[in-house]
Structure 1
């Protein structure tokens, strides 16, 4: 049974471990990669106090198996899909799709005009999901990104679908 719910303080250690583990699996280690962001150790607090931001965890059969969030990216109506990480056993079950759908619905609800993301070329399943959900590839990252280690950048228009 799958449940998608907002993160709580009790989830912080588990989601931080998942983000770190999956980051290592794909070589996203050190500065310039999401798993090294300060927010990772205190995800619930970071998203609780950030305006127009939320983070959800995916709970499969009572166990947290991943998560994803939305937060403001810049002052031009752009949000960022953040920290979509799933344990290997949870992939291929539609959980990523459920998380992204939840994130994008929230982003539209609070008035964002577009959604940016950055990722790694070796995260091929995630990229296929983003493409399926109408994210378009960009030639370069947005200037405001802090993830200089990423090599894939995408954007989705939230105003017309």
Structure 2
């Protein structure tokens, strides 16, 4: 493999593959259940779910194959200045190859462009490698959920203050 990594916005033709990735990673981590992205209706229509202003979903393509994705969207039922890093999932063969880091950087760059001041996320304790990646990128754990994501099965909550550069 030559490790050619491309990060781009999702296309309508990516929906099936992105849904497959999200669901397979949740199965891998024993998190394919109610209250998770596994059951979200938008998981099967990710392109359509990220078409409003100030939101975007990015896919990671490694060696001409979609290997993961992540999105930014306003955190439902929260202050206007808080976004959420959503549905960040990466296939096992793409981990430890800087795919996660590049997806986070792209999402946070977009969040700053949209003038968000904080970025929130939810995950599971069994996704420790992802938690470590989030910490390395400036996220800190908090003691309670924010907003209303409908992901009540998630019990690790994290936030990052974004430095605004205007």
**3-state SS of 1:153 partner:** strand
Q: Give the alignment of 1:82-161 within 5 angstroms.
A: 82-159=86-163
Secondary structure (helix, strand or coil) at the match of 1:31 reads coil
* Alpha-carbon contact 2:74-2:84 (below 8 Å) kept: yes
Q: Distance in 1 between matches of 2:117 and 2:70?
A: 19
- Structure 1 residues 67-78: aligned runs within 5 Å: 67-73=69-75, 74-78=78-82
**Alpha-carbon contact 2:117-2:164 (below 8 Å) kept:** no
1:82-107 deviations in Å (ceiling 9; x for gaps): 00000110101110000000000000
Structure 1-normalised TM-score? 0.95
Q: Name 1:8's counterpart in structure 2.
A: 11
Cα distance, 1:160 vs structure 2:
5.8
Cα RMSD after superposing both structures: 1.3
Q: How many residues align?
A: 160
3-state DSSP class of the match of 2:159? strand
Gaps of 5+ in 1: none
Could you tell me how far apart the structure 2 residues matched to 1:112 and 1:8 are? 24
Aligned to 2:49: 46
Greater shift, 29-38 or 52-61, is seen at 29-38
Q: TM-score, normalised by structure 2?
A: 0.92
- The residue that corresponds to 1:64 in the other structure is 66
Tell me, what secondary structure is at the counterpart of 2:72? Answer: strand
Moved over 4 A (4+): none
